[in-house]
Amino acid sequence: MSTAEADLIDRLRATLGPQAVLSGADLPARNQQDWSTLGPVRPLAVVRPADPQGVATALGAAVAAGIAVVPQGGLTGLAGGARPIEGAIALSLERLTGIEEIDPAAATMTVRAGTTLEAVQRAAEDAGFFFALDLGARGSCTIGGNLSTNAGGNRVLRYGMARDMVLGLEAALPDGTLVTSLNKMLKNNAGYDLKQLFVGSEGTLGIITRAVLRLHPAPACTMAALCGLASYDAVLAFLAAARRGLGPILSAFEVMWPDYWQVATERVAGVRSPIGRGHAFYVLVEAQGSDSADAGRFDAWLESEAEAGLIEDAAVAQSLADVKAFWGVRDAAAELKLVLGPHASFDIGLPVAGMDAYARACREALAAELPGCLGLFYGHIADGNMHIVACVPGADPQPYAPIDAVVYRLVRQHGGTISAEHGIGLKKKPYLPYTRTPEELALMRVVKQAIDPKGLLNPGKVL
Amino acid sequence: MSTAEADLIDRLRATLGPQAVLSGADLPARNQQDWSTLGPVRPLAVVRPADPQGVATALGAAVAAGIAVVPQGGLTGLAGGARPIEGAIALSLERLTGIEEIDPAAATMTVRAGTTLEAVQRAAEDAGFFFALDLGARGSCTIGGNLSTNAGGNRVLRYGMARDMVLGLEAALPDGTLVTSLNKMLKNNAGYDLKQLFVGSEGTLGIITRAVLRLHPAPACTMAALCGLASYDAVLAFLAAARRGLGPILSAFEVMWPDYWQVATERVAGVRSPIGRGHAFYVLVEAQGSDSADAGRFDAWLESEAEAGLIEDAAVAQSLADVKAFWGVRDAAAELKLVLGPHASFDIGLPVAGMDAYARACREALAAELPGCLGLFYGHIADGNMHIVACVPGADPQPYAPIDAVVYRLVRQHGGTISAEHGIGLKKKPYLPYTRTPEELALMRVVKQAIDPKGLLNPGKVL
């Protein structure tokens, strides 16, 4: 450890308290890696401020000392955005937790960045509201991480992404400033909308410390069905029918290709198939109603689509437990590691109409170029977002780089994006030019350089 | 005209064609002012490129020559953002018009910035879709202006602001670069979301040349009612009931205070009152249904609220002509100039619960500090956005500055924003610190300086 590094750690301990700074033998294993397939790294120290000003102070002090900082939330990122860097401070938001206020009149919640998504969802529910962001890692991921990656998840179709659920934000800048913009109003056009800089920039422009979240009315009822369909054309027609017939109560439309379906329902523990096998596509369609009449409407709509021959088979949830079980098939994606072992996972975006053509091309190319390579396809089709899990069963190590090359080459050919929702982090950085033009990349660098001129905040991530 | 100015004009004429550059005696009166109360100014020249690259070329050439540029759309802004500057180029998007593509599968429209909002709405309708942005100036304002000011309007409650209706954007930068990000996917987390820089920054960071807009399904039916209520508490309870009872089909909730109502229904030509006078508040509530069952649902909901005693009187639209007539009372705001003469108008934002307290305080302070001063209040209450029209009848000139001072002093006291939707432009700049902290303003300046280091793009606006 250099003198500058030791000095910084001493000063942070003195300012933030000894329990806020962990180094040497005390460095927790947890903070040395995230959920990406990249291995662990020992940071210089883990710094865990307990209030927003502490985050700004720590960041400003590190940057002034020429030492890099990597922000860390729930460490559930799959792109490596929170992966520590040797010689850098890992600035963890894990002690900056708690809900500061729920304002029923404004339908907002003010929350600290380290609070888990699940805690936010529960607090909203307890107050008679609904917080619409939802994703598999809800129990571990934090709202600060959700916002800094602009998380998507299951109900983007109806409620938008994390960006659409935030009204106000507070962030610490590399110069140690704390910018507090805890706006609670739906509309505020007084100057630049600064929160947009920090949402989705993966902690490279500032560290989010608090947020004002937008709450929605709690749904009065939730309806769901799992359907088997015969072709991708039928899936597209069913999506159009759902938009038309369910209108704004449609809250999710998840599609699973049969290879995914088979692994999820036959190999993942605790997951059962509510309909028979043998379909070309499986669709989980969900609607959230504002009164009980909507339940009848959902049933009538589904029946008419079945009569019209659009779906081959369907199971309709009879209870919230059924809704949960149906989601279990989709959420089994998080358990694939247990049955497949290490694998690559993707969150590409594509024009909706061309998603099956992509899946077929990708499955074929993976098998041709990497013998034995499996590709499982599923995703938030209505949003143009496809997930892929790919691996060569039994291979150790997995051929991650060649798999990436196949998947992203085809994304470029099919006019898609290399990241619909997980972000770029470290892992997708080499492929960013597949989705962004040189002019776009240059403008991103201009913004980065202006706000972090020394390049010490989450360096090497995204750009 | 200096040599540098004459040189620039000659070069732009040679590059863009003679009809693209108007100066001297040819300078159109139209481009010398906008709808703000600020008077006309003669710019150095009006430059009207016919394609996106022409905009980038003109902007880059002007900035390289040290000459400022003011972007102009439909010139309907009320804050002075498009007001020309002496010695600067007025860069008008008026020839950059037309819809380039409607993609039904993606539900998107790619459009050039100078296209009017009304043309966009009609093209969406012709293609079986709905473009949700709507505001009084629809026939004159342009989509580029709507996006660069992050326009709000009548249906923010359901569909969000202009920011929420754009998926991709192309913009010209002060260095002459054209940054093309015409993304059509709902989700794209590949690096910074650059379009956010240009939406709502009022042409101070770049000039929007094209956009990919998000289209919604066309509503199957539109229901509306005009209701009289006895108190602001009743208005708040009625809003909560509308959110609960109508759920996501609720598309507008406009409130008019009685002083506005009286002038609109008794003095504006062609506007009639569908219900009796004498109520403390008037509410226009609108819902857009996805099937005809929603019409019955609206009627049943309204009837139950009437039975519960929440509303004193109501007229329910029996036809689309009725819906239009009901909106006529609200849209009469645009005609007030004809009956009141010159007046100040405002678009403040406030916490919803405190809006009537603000209106009472403001009405009283205006009358006390500026004898004879009228204040008319109305607005998009569900969004926390109140409009105010204020004037001293007969005064010439109107005491604009003292009226501003009263309105904004009370906005600060009541925890509001000086602009919910019209933007800052020139007129609200002195009051920006009432709504934004020094840290926020400093960060805005960092962004401005990085992208427009010479400060020649729409100088003096916003910051």
Taking an 8 Å cut-off on Cβ atoms, the answer to whether A191 and B418 are in contact is no
A318 touches chain B (CB under 8 A): no
- Looking at every residue in chain B, the average pLDDT score rounds to 95
- Position B208 pLDDT exceeds 90: yes
Q: Where does the pLDDT of residue B244 fall: very low under 50, low under 70, confident under 90, or very high at 90 and above? A: confident
Residue A335 CB coordination number (10 Å): 18
Q: Which of A200, A243, A420 lies nearest to residue B193, judging by beta carbons? A: A200
Cβ atoms of B253 and B237 within 8 Å: the answer is no
Taking an 8 Å cut-off on Cβ atoms, the answer to whether A185 and B384 are in contact is yes
d(CA A418, CA B325): 49
pLDDT at A68: 98
Taking an 8 Å cut-off on Cβ atoms, the answer to whether B416 and A185 are in contact is yes
Cis previous bond, A397, omega within 30: yes
Q: What residue in A sits closest to B178 (Cα-Cα)?
A: A439
Cβ atoms of B225 and B314 within 8 Å: the answer is yes
Q: What is the percent of chain A with per-residue pLDDT over 90, rounded to a whole number?
A: 92
B315 touches chain A (CB under 8 A): no
pLDDT tens-digit readout, A251-269: 999 999 999 999 999 999 9
Return the residue in B146, B149, B183, B188 with the most chain A beta carbons within 10 A, the one to mutate for interface testing: B188
Identify the bridge partners of residue B81 per DSSP, sorted by sequence position: none
pLDDT tens-digit readout, B147-191: 999 999 889 999 999 999 999 999 999 999 999 999 999 999 999
Residues in chain A with CB shorter than 8 Å from the CB of B301 are none
Secondary structure (DSSP) of B378-391: EEEGGGTEEEEEEE
Chains A and B form CB pairs within 8 A to the count of 255
Q: Which of B149, B179, B447 lies nearest to residue A189, judging by beta carbons? A: B149
Helix (H) or strand (E) holding A281: strand A281-289
Q: Where does the pLDDT of residue A108 fall: very low under 50, low under 70, confident under 90, or very high at 90 and above? A: very high
- Position A367 pLDDT exceeds 90: yes
DSSP state of A219: P
Taking an 8 Å cut-off on Cβ atoms, the answer to whether B183 and A437 are in contact is no
Taking an 8 Å cut-off on Cβ atoms, the answer to whether B187 and A441 are in contact is no
Nearest-CA distance A233 → chain B (Å):
12
pLDDT tens-digit readout, A40-93: 999 999 999 999 999 999 999 999 999 999 999 999 999 999 999 999 999 999
pLDDT at A433: 97
Nearest-CA distance A27 → chain B (Å):
31
Which of 383-422 (B) contact A at CB < 8 A?
383-385, 416-422
Return the residue in A188, A209, A249 with the most chain B beta carbons within 10 A, the one to mutate for interface testing: A188
Which of 206-225 (A) contact B at CB < 8 A?
217, 220
Q: What residue in B sits closest to A248 (Cα-Cα)?
A: B248
Compute φ and ψ for B98, nearest 5 degrees.
120, 150
Q: What is the percent of chain B with per-residue pLDDT over 90, rounded to a whole number?
A: 92
Which of 87-146 (B) contact A at CB < 8 A?
105-106
Q: Which of A187, A217, A220 lies nearest to residue B420, judging by beta carbons? A: A187
d(CA B243, CA B236): 11
- Position B317 pLDDT exceeds 90: yes
Helix (H) or strand (E) holding B316: strand B313-316
Residue A344 CB coordination number (10 Å): 24
Half-sphere CA count of B292, side-chain side, radius 13 A: 0
pLDDT tens-digit readout, B87-126: 999 999 999 999 999 998 889 999 999 999 999 999 999 9
Taking an 8 Å cut-off on Cβ atoms, the answer to whether B350 and A185 are in contact is yes
Q: Which of A152, A246, A437 lies nearest to residue B180, judging by beta carbons? A: A437
Is the model more confident about A1 or about A402? A402
A245 touches chain B (CB under 8 A): yes
Residues in chain B with CB shorter than 8 Å from the CB of A294 are 247
Greatest pairwise CA separation for chain A in angstroms: 75
Taking an 8 Å cut-off on Cβ atoms, the answer to whether A440 and B243 are in contact is no
Taking an 8 Å cut-off on Cβ atoms, the answer to whether B244 and A217 are in contact is yes
Residues in chain A with CB shorter than 8 Å from the CB of B192 are 197, 200-201, 205, 444, 447, 462
Task: Compute CA distances B137 → A19, A110, B11, B145, B151, whole Å.
Answer: 59, 36, 35, 11, 11
Which of 256-295 (B) contact A at CB < 8 A?
289-291, 293-294
- Position B325 pLDDT exceeds 90: yes
pLDDT at A46: 98
Taking an 8 Å cut-off on Cβ atoms, the answer to whether B432 and A190 are in contact is yes
Taking an 8 Å cut-off on Cβ atoms, the answer to whether A443 and B243 are in contact is no
Residues 6+ apart with CB under 8 A from A264: A256, A271, A329, A330, A332, A333, A336
pLDDT at A422: 94
Q: Which of A163, A177, A441 lies nearest to residue B439, judging by beta carbons? A: A177
- Position A363 pLDDT exceeds 90: yes
Taking an 8 Å cut-off on Cβ atoms, the answer to whether B351 and A184 are in contact is yes
- Position A172 pLDDT exceeds 90: yes
Taking an 8 Å cut-off on Cβ atoms, the answer to whether A188 and B420 are in contact is yes
Taking an 8 Å cut-off on Cβ atoms, the answer to whether A186 and B156 are in contact is yes
Taking an 8 Å cut-off on Cβ atoms, the answer to whether A156 and B187 are in contact is yes
Taking an 8 Å cut-off on Cβ atoms, the answer to whether A419 and B189 are in contact is yes
The alpha carbons of chain A give a radius of gyration, in whole angstroms, of 23
Q: Which of B158, B189, B424 lies nearest to residue A150, judging by beta carbons? A: B189
Domains, chain B, with CATH or none? 3-92 (3.30.43.10), 99-217 (3.30.465.10), 221-334 (3.30.70.2190), 341-422 (3.30.70.2740)
Greatest pairwise CA separation for chain B in angstroms: 76
Q: Give one word for A67, left, alpha or beta, with left for phi > 0 and alpha for psi -120 to 50.
A: beta
Return the residue in A380, A443, A462 with the most chain B beta carbons within 10 A, the one to mutate for interface testing: A443
Residue type, A90: A
Return the residue in A189, A212, A297 with the most chain B beta carbons within 10 A, the one to mutate for interface testing: A189
Q: Which of A106, A205, A291 lies nearest to residue B351, judging by beta carbons? A: A106
Taking an 8 Å cut-off on Cβ atoms, the answer to whether A444 and B192 are in contact is yes
Q: Outline where DSSP puts E strands in A45-197.
A: 45-47, 69-72, 89-92, 99-103, 108-112, 129-130, 166-172, 178-181
Structure tokens at B20: 């693209």
- Looking at every residue in chain A, the average pLDDT score rounds to 95
pLDDT tens-digit readout, A269-289: 999 999 998 999 999 999 999
A453 touches chain B (CB under 8 A): no
pLDDT at B448: 98
Taking an 8 Å cut-off on Cβ atoms, the answer to whether B186 and A156 are in contact is yes
Residues 6+ apart with CB under 8 A from A255: A235, A281, A282, A283, A355, A378, A379, A381
Return the residue in B147, B182, B187 with the most chain A beta carbons within 10 A, the one to mutate for interface testing: B187
pLDDT tens-digit readout, B46-86: 999 999 999 999 999 999 999 999 999 999 999 999 999 99
Residues in chain A with CB shorter than 8 Å from the CB of B383 are 185-187
Query: Which of B168, B102, B196 is closest to A415 using CA atoms?
Result: B168
- The complex's ipTM? 0.96
Q: Where does the pLDDT of residue A105 fall: very low under 50, low under 70, confident under 90, or very high at 90 and above? A: confident
Taking an 8 Å cut-off on Cβ atoms, the answer to whether B290 and A184 are in contact is no
Residues in chain A with CB shorter than 8 Å from the CB of B239 are none
Q: What residue in A sits closest to B426 (Cα-Cα)?
A: A191
Taking an 8 Å cut-off on Cβ atoms, the answer to whether A432 and B191 are in contact is yes
Task: Compute CA distances A19 → A16, A48, B261, whole Å.
Answer: 8, 8, 62
Cα A295–Cα A298–Cα A299 angle in degrees, nearest 5: 90
